[in-house]
Structure formats: structure tokens, C-alpha cells
Amino acid sequence: MIRLPNICVGAMALLLLVSLAMPIQGAETKGKIASLNTDQSEFVLRDNAGTNWTIHLNKDGKVFLNDKEVKLSDLQVDDEVKITYEKKGEQFMASEVRGTRKK
């Protein structure tokens, strides 16, 4: 029978616990705001390939503009954004939107 040193077993157990405790990361993409519908908490993102994505902001989603937390309504068409999202059914749900606006 092969015996692993106790330190290896402990390290493997710690690695397993840390991996289970880490939050699941969403996918990321970036592009520019093509249009906004703040009443529906959604916007259209045009990616670098020219594809339009309709993105819905989660109820607890965060929006930042130039590293300052803002509301979705503070974003404007042509702001560059990077979003963290998950696909739920046919919808893209953003948990974070980070925008930059050139002054």
C-alpha cells in the first residue's frame, strides 16, 4: 500500500476547500454602449467585431464609470465598457459594468 505523507494529504484537503470557497467567475467581454434602456435595466453593447449584445443588469449589479460607482443611467452611448456576465437562458445578465469615458 502506498502511503502519502500527512503534509500532502493536508495540502490536498486545503486546496479542495479553497477551490470550493471561491466564487464562480462570470465571462467577460468589452465594447461600446450602442443604446441604453434604463427603465428595463438593459443596454446594447457593440463588441469589437461589430456584434450587438443586449445586456440586462442584475438587480444587485454594480456599474462603474472611470472607477467611480454610478447608476446605469449615468452611462452614455459610445462609452467603452467591460462587463462581467452570465448567460441565463437566452439572456445575458451582467453582474458588473466598468465603463470609461474620455474627457
Q: Is 53 in contact with 29 (CB distance < 8 Å)?
A: yes
Bridge partners, 70 (sequence order): 63
How do residues 69-103 score in pLDDT, each as one tens digit?
A: 999 999 999 999 999 999 999 999 999 999 998 86
Structure confidence by residue, pLDDT tens digits, 24-64: 567 999 999 999 999 999 999 999 899 999 999 999 999 99
Per the listing, cell 495540502 goes with 11
Strands (E), the chain: 27-37, 42-47, 52-65, 68-70, 80-88, 91-100
Question: In this structure, are residues 15 and 22 in contact, taking their beta carbons and an 8 Å threshold?
Answer: no
